[in-house]
Amino acid sequence: MSWRQKIINSPLYDWLGKRSFSQSGEDVIAWGELNKRRGFYVDIGAYHPKQFSNTYYFYKRGWKGLVVEPNSELLRLYKEIRKKDIALGVGVGGKEIVADYFMFDDPAANTFSVEQAEKNEKEADRRMIGKKPVAILRLAKLLNDYLPDGVNIDLLSVDTEGMDEEVLSSGDWEKYRPKVVICEDLDFDWEKPMRSAVAKMMKNLDYKLVGLTPYSLVFKDEK
């Protein structure tokens, strides 16, 4: 482990004046829309418990939640650093299957998407270091099986490297309606928003786009 990663994993990282832990301030945008003392989040494709995390900002303020991260090393860190969370080492997608999880030298690029894995290698010059079979659950089943009884979801974060629309489509939006949703969309065009499949789907589900960063969209439930 590098010295930089040791600092990120340590309490020192929190003391260095960090105001946002997300990649581009998504957590601060979501906090502005929610702004409640205690709440519950679901983080799909959670990656590191601190670095680029859309939910650590909330965890530090007393929230807790359900985090899903197929990378076994990062999952171990969740169980060490964020002990109040429920941490699961599965994937989320459109079908209940076992699928290959493609792993890269930069673990932020890990994905279940064959197309995204090929794009990582050919266009981003990332090196694949292996793959392993991992169980995939639909979002609706994940929440049915693991969401604590009586809990409402305040924040849903989805960052699944090319599978965000598929993950969101696998939810039961009548039964589970997070107040705020963060999801990755690298191709969103503000001038032509409905060309985004994610934005179109969320609009049809009665969610309003309230925030935009270079990496993600932030939606709020209009109901």
Residues 151-210 pLDDT 10s: 999 999 999 988 999 999 999 999 999 999 999 998 888 889 888 999 999 999 999 999
Q: Is 92 helix (H, G, I), strand (E, B) or coil?
A: strand
The answer to whether position 96 is within a domain reads: no
Residue 193 CB partners (closer than 8 Å, separation 6+): 199, 209
The answer to whether position 125 is within a domain reads: no
The answer to whether position 209 is within a domain reads: yes
Q: What is the pLDDT of residue 197?
A: 93
Domain hosting 78: range is: 17-89+140-221
The answer to whether position 153 is within a domain reads: yes
The answer to whether position 204 is within a domain reads: yes
Q: How many domains does the chain have?
A: 1
The answer to whether position 12 is within a domain reads: no
Q: Where are the alpha helices (DSSP H) in 60-196?
A: 72-81, 114-122, 139-146, 164-169
Lowest mean pLDDT among 107-111, 129-133, 218-222: 107-111
3-state helix, strand, coil in the chain (%, to 5): 30, 25, 45
C-beta of residue 159 within 8 angstroms of C-beta of residue 54? yes
The answer to whether position 211 is within a domain reads: yes
The Cα 165–Cα 197 span in angstroms is 7
C-beta of residue 77 within 8 angstroms of C-beta of residue 52? no
The answer to whether position 24 is within a domain reads: yes
- pLDDT average, residue stretch 115-141: 92
pTM, two decimals, is 0.91
Strands 86-88 and 64-68: parallel
- What are φ and ψ of residue 200, in 5° steps? -65, -45
* Residue 182, domain CATH: 3.40.50.150
Token pair of 13 as six digits: 């990282």
